[in-house]
Chains A and B, each alone.
Chain A
């Protein structure tokens, strides 16, 4: 009996030592990969940031309105944000590669999933940035045209246009990374439909006089009656 217990303990010890002997190099490799990955990611972060500063990336983002949006959202400047994204993408990639080396069954396939996710994430970010740019352009164009055309409440109208474009871009980005796709699409469809219906009802019922004024302005009964009062040239 005692012999049996001793054999079992010995076998367990041998197995443990074998397992440790087998796992330790993998752990060391994982740690090495993660550490090297961190260094590479950090270097890439600074390289990207330096290039973006050299390219005056922040200035460009300010011009297209992205800078203002980042400031409003209390996010860092555009060049810092992009370099941080690069850092985390690279380092998480190395991290998952390191974990994969450990050979845990539960973690198998994570690297492949991550590799598949990164392009979608990048596309989603591009969609968001383009959405912000388009939203700001549409907002400014609507605001200026509304003021010059004497449309009532131009800021409300232009703000609504910007919100709609941003919501559309957000929904597209979420759909791209497949986060709660069904919920996002359903929520977007319901919200968009509700907003449009609400606007139509508000415009037709509550804003009948405004609608009449706008239509009179656009389609005057006597063309030429709305000519400039005096010669500007």
Chain B
């Protein structure tokens, strides 16, 4: 059940007046004035075009923007409480924007969106990232339709990615989640997703919002769905283009957040994934267009040189995390020219870091930060091999990496149980 204390009295009154809705599109925002209008328009167009008869609402949970984001979203005047409802001229789509109070971050915003969806008994819920500039009306259809047709409880996105695009997902999170949870989900860090009312109710019943994983709510939801028997699905969305943030967080910060989320989720769902068998495919809806390179190519040679230096410098720390054979393998890989960091070695490395995190052999932040240089080395190795390869070759290489993680999992699971 929704925690109604999350919602102000005024908002509750408006929601009660709305009654039941079929589709709710949730947009958590924080200073997204440059991009949020296009996202809202795409959502409205998608709802109007693909679900013309459905009662729908676009709900914006804003965590205190000071650039006018809520004003742009609601396109109406504020009342005393800062909560506004504006009837949309097309069909029955409503737009609600409201500030939320509590812990800042996407986790709190999503919790509020889910609480509203639960209160409105929404059949299908879609969450959109307000920073994405490539969102189209078709995304709404792709994320909603499998849920409304009863084919899936959680629809994860499927993006077109070039070899160079998103290595933190393709090299680390995707194969690790695949091996651990036993589902071939391509994008566990769901930027956008669709889900069912049943899944929303489940999430609200969990101890959500206690601050355990405030930065990893997307991954937490993926894990909750996979670990609790909800039917997963994937919707082909195409390329995901993001607006340039004013002050983007550095890679160490991003890596730390992602690794904290991954490790927290694996700790949380250990009861499920430790006994889970080989990975099963996840149904895909739609056809993915070809990938396009979204930015400049990285200087892989420099990354490889840095990797050799970093492994040498971090050797005393690595010796407390990695087993002797794995450390010897990493050291040997760092010395090879051109750099080759094999799939099996990378999988063993990641799982041994995971075990070190679980056993807390040192401060957990130190464990995850020590993995960063190795991740960059693995990325450099992959791009040296496949940076110019065609989509089919890249796909096969990533599939091979996923299998390497699956093969490394049983030993890691056995050690995890012993720890």
Contacts and interface: CB of A to CB of B under 8 A. Distances in A.
A137 B219 CA distance: 30
Interface string A211-233: 00000000000011001111111
A227 B296 contact: no
B227 interface: no
Given A63-B360, A229-B295, A144 B317 contact: yes
B306 A150 contact: yes
B337 interface: no
Contacts of B310: 147
Interface stretch (B32-40, B44-52, B53-61, B251-259): B251-259
B361 interface: yes
Contact of A144 (B295, B306, B361, B366): B366
Given A137-B363, A232-B255, A233-B168, A144 B298 contact: no
A145 interface: yes
Contacts of A150: 306
Interface string B352-372: 000000001111001001101
A114 B168 CA distance: 61
Interface residues of A, number: 23
B17 interface: no
Contacts of B168: 232-233
Contact of B254 (A143, A147, A232): A232
B169 interface: yes
A69 to B, nearest CB: 13
B206 interface: no
B361 A231 contact: no
A149 B297 CA distance: 21
Contact of B252 (A143, A148, A223, A233): A148
Nearest to B369: A144
Interface in A194-216: none
Nearest to B294: A231
A111 B221 CA distance: 67
A145 B165 CA distance: 25
Given A137-B363, A143-B314, A143-B317, A229 B299 contact: yes
A161 to B, nearest CB: 14
A89 B65 CA distance: 64
Given A141-B366, A143-B313, A144-B314, A233 B169 contact: yes
Contact of B248 (A146, A149, A227, A230): A227
Given A140-B362, A143-B313, A147-B310, A231 B369 contact: no
B189 interface: yes
A233 B313 contact: no
Nearest to B296: A229
Contacts of B332: none
Contacts of B250: 228
B167 A232 contact: yes
Nearest to B257: A233
A182 B31 CA distance: 60
Nearest to B251: A228
A120 interface: no
Contacts of A227: 248
Interface string A119-154: 000000000000000000100110111111110001
B373 A147 contact: yes
A166 to B, nearest CB: 16
B294 A144 contact: no
B314 A147 contact: yes
A155 B318 CA distance: 13
B248 A140 contact: no
Contacts of A63: 360-362
A212 to B, nearest CB: 20
B318 to A, nearest CB: 11
Nearest to A145: B369
A141, A150, A227, A229 interface centre (most CB from chain B within 10 Å): A229
A227 B295 CA distance: 12
B140 interface: no
Contact of B369 (A137, A148, A155, A229): A148
14 contacts: A63-B360, A63-B361, A140-B362, A143-B317, A144-B369, A224-B247, A227-B248, A228-B248, A228-B250, A230-B298, A231-B165, A232-B167, A233-B168, A233-B258
Interface of A: 63, 137, 140-141, 143-150, 154-155, 223-224, 227-233
Interface of B: 164-169, 189, 242, 247-248, 250-252, 254-255, 258, 294-299, 306, 310, 313-314, 316-317, 360-363, 366, 369-370, 372-373
